[in-house]
Amino acid sequence: MNIYDWLAKHDIKISSHQLIDDAFTHTSYVNEHRQALHDNERLEFMGDAVMQIWVSEKLFLHKPVLSEGQMSKYRARIVCEKSFARLMRQMKLYQFIRLGAGEEKSGGRDRDSILADTFEAFIGALYLVAGMNEVNKILEKYVKPLTDNPENLEMTDYKTRLQEYVQSDIRKAVTYRLLKESGPSNNPVFEIGAYLDEVLLGKGSGHSKKEAEQMAAKEALRILVK
């Protein structure tokens, strides 16, 4: 499957392929190829604007009515790197990103920043080549559940909580190590350990290293507090 198969599966019609190709092209890929290519950085700007206004409108129309402070808080939790990276994994769009060999080897396809930037670029490109009606088909399916239930967006940063807990007693930093990687290349599972010096505090698993680190920190907190 390629990105155009994915779009067809979602009944999305586009007028041009060029900007969609650009949206999935990382700077590392452009740097390693001589042909005239464009990366997705300018499209990120457009996609961010589309997401800001779309999410703002959904939160403004939410029932029961949300205060300005609530809308700002919830929008910040939806229109952010972590949220967009999660959507890329949920939609399985990460498989279409064009990365340079070095970036691919270093785990760029699992990096939240690259996933989030590509999501913004994709939304920006889709808006330009297909219009808002087609963009809505994606956002209504994948993002509207977030704006419908914004109270469920409370995101606990277990890594920060664990570090604060440790530093309240000793001035040392918690480190995270990859223990195991399993599963297919397009849907890997990472097992990460949270360590204080050489002591394993807790382990956690996830489909990204950052998610696994959070789960390891959560388990470490549970054990330490207990």
Residue 41 and residue 101: Cα distance in Å, rounded?
19
Q: Which of 123, 118, 144 is nearest to 134 (CA)?
A: 123
Q: 């007028």: which residue's tokens?
A: 15
Answer for the pair 118, 26: CB distance below 8 angstroms, yes or no: yes
Find, among 218, 220, 47, the residue nearest to 135 by Cα. 47
Phi, psi of 181 (to 5 degrees): -130, 130
Pairing of strands 189-196, 175-182: antiparallel
Q: What residues are labeled active site?
A: 48, 120
Burial-class residue 174 by CB neighbours within 10 Å (0-12, 13-18, 19+): buried
Q: Which of 181, 187, 179 is nearest to 203 (CA)?
A: 179
Helix axes 158-167, 209-225, angle to 10 degrees: 40
Give the tokens for residue 164. 């604060």
